Structure 1
Amino acid sequence: MQRLSARSLSVLAAIGALILAGCGTESGDPGGEAASASAGRTIRAQKVMQLTQVHDETGMTLLEGPVFGEDGGLIVVDVTAPEGEPKVIRVDVAKKTSRTLHTDGRGAYTSAQFSPYDGRLYLSDFAHGEIVSLAPGGGDPRTFFSGEVDGAPMNPDDIAFGQEGDLYVSDSRGLTGGKAHGRVVRIDREGGGATVLAEDLAAPNGISFDADYRGLWFSELTENRISYLRLDEKGGVTSRHTAIRVDGGLAQTDSIAVDADGNLYQGLHGRAAMAVYDRHGERLATVELPSRAEGLESATNVAITPGGTKAYMTVSGPAGGYLYSFDALAEGVRQSNGG
Structure 2
Amino acid sequence: MSKSELIASVPYNERAIPIKEAKPWFKVSDSQMQLEGLCFDGQGHLFFVDVFGGGVYCLSLDEMELKQIASFPDENPATVKRRQDGRLFVCFLGDMKSTGSVISMNADGSDVQVVVDSSLGYVVDDLTFDKNGGFYFTDFKGYSCEPTGGVYYVAPDYQTITKVMGNMAVPNGVVLNLAGDGLWVTEMSQNRLHYLTMTDDPIVIANYGSSVPYNFTGLEGPDSICIDVQDHLYVAMYMQGRVMVFDRNGNPIEQVLIPERINQKMMRSTSVAIYPDKKKMILCSNDGEGHGGSWLYSCKSLSPGIV
Same fold by TM-score greater than 0.5: yes
Query: CA offset at residue 180 of structure 1?
Result: 0.8
Q: Which amino acid aligns with 1:187?
A: V
Distance 2:8 2:204 in 1: 35
Matches for 1:128-147 after TM superposition, within 5 Å: 128-147=99-118
Q: How does 1:294-305 map to 2 (within 5 A)?
A: 295-305=265-275
Sort the Cα spacing of 1:302 and 1:292 in 2 relative to 1 into closer, same or farther, 3 A: closer
Aligned-residue identity in percent: 24
Alignment of 1:55-94 (within 5 A): 60-81=32-53, 87-94=55-62
**Matched ranges for 1:142-181 at <5 A:** 142-147=113-118, 153-175=121-143, 178-181=145-148
Please tell me the root mean square deviation across aligned C-alpha atoms, in Å. 2.2
What SS class does the counterpart of residue 66 from structure 1 fall into? Answer: strand
Q: Secondary structure at the match of 2:259?
A: coil
Out of 295-304 and 203-212, give the one that drifted further. Answer: 295-304
| TM-score, normalised relative to structure 2 | 0.87
The 8 Å contact of residues 151 and 163 in structure 2, kept in 1 or not, is answered as: yes
| Alpha-carbon distance in 1 for matches of 2:109, 2:203 | 33
Change over 3 Å in CA distance of 1:136–1:189 after alignment to 2: farther
Whole-Å separation in 2 of the counterparts to 1:258 and 1:63 = 19
1:120 aligns with 2:87: yes
Query: Which deviates further from its counterpart, 87-96 or 293-302?
Result: 293-302
Maintained 8 Å contact 2:173/2:186: yes
> 2:294 aligns to what?
321
By how many angstroms is 1:329 displaced?
Answer: 0.7
1:214 to 2:181 alignment: yes
Segments of structure 2 that go 5 or more residues without pairing to the other structure are: 1-6
> How far apart, in 2, do the equivalents of 1:253 and 1:30 lie?
20
CA 1:95–1:147: 2 relative to 1, 3 Å: closer
Q: Bigger shift: 316-325 or 238-247?
A: 238-247
Deviation at 1:264, TM superposition (A): 1.1
Task: Deviation per CA, 1:124-166: give whole Å up to 9, x if none.
Answer: 01113110111112111121111566xxx11010110111221
The equivalent residue for 2:24 is 47
CA contact (8 A) 1:159 1:167 kept: yes
1:1-40 alignment to 2 at 5 Å? Answer: 31-32=9-10, 34-38=12-16, 40=17
CA deviations over 1:224-263 (Å, ceiling 9, x no partner): 1111111122313233423322332234011111111111
CA distance in 2: counterparts of 1:180 and 1:30, whole angstroms: 33
Instruction: Say if 2:223 is the partner of 1:254.
Output: yes
Instruction: Please give the secondary structure, in 2, of the residue aligned with 1:222.
Output: helix
Please point out which of 207, 224, 230 is paired with 2:191. Answer: 224
AA in 1 matched with 2:47: I
Structure 1 SS opposite 2:189: helix
Q: Secondary structure at the match of 1:180?
A: coil
State the distance in 2 between where 1:211 and 1:277 align: 14
Q: Which runs of 4+ in 1 moved over 6 A?
A: none
Measured against aligned partners, the alpha-carbon deviations of 1:173-211 in whole angstroms (never above 9, x if no partner) come to: 1239x4311110011233211010001111100101012
What amino acid is aligned across from residue 284 of structure 1 in structure 2? I
Unaligned runs of 5+ in 1: 1-28, 55-59, 335-339
CA distance in 2 between counterparts of 1:155 and 1:253 reads: 17
Counterpart pick for 1:99 among 54, 67, 90: 67
**Distance in 1 between the 2:260 and 2:294 partners?**
17
Give the total of aligned pairs: 291
State whether residues 30 and 271 of structure 1, in contact with CA within 8 Å, keep that contact through their aligned partners in structure 2.
no
The equivalent of 2:152 in structure 1 is: 185
Counterpart of 1:322 in structure 2: which amino acid?
Answer: W
1:265/1:30 Cα in 2 relative to 1: closer, same or farther (>3 Å)?
Answer: farther
Contact 1:225 1:242 in 2 (8 A): no
Which residue identity does 1:50 align to in structure 2?
K
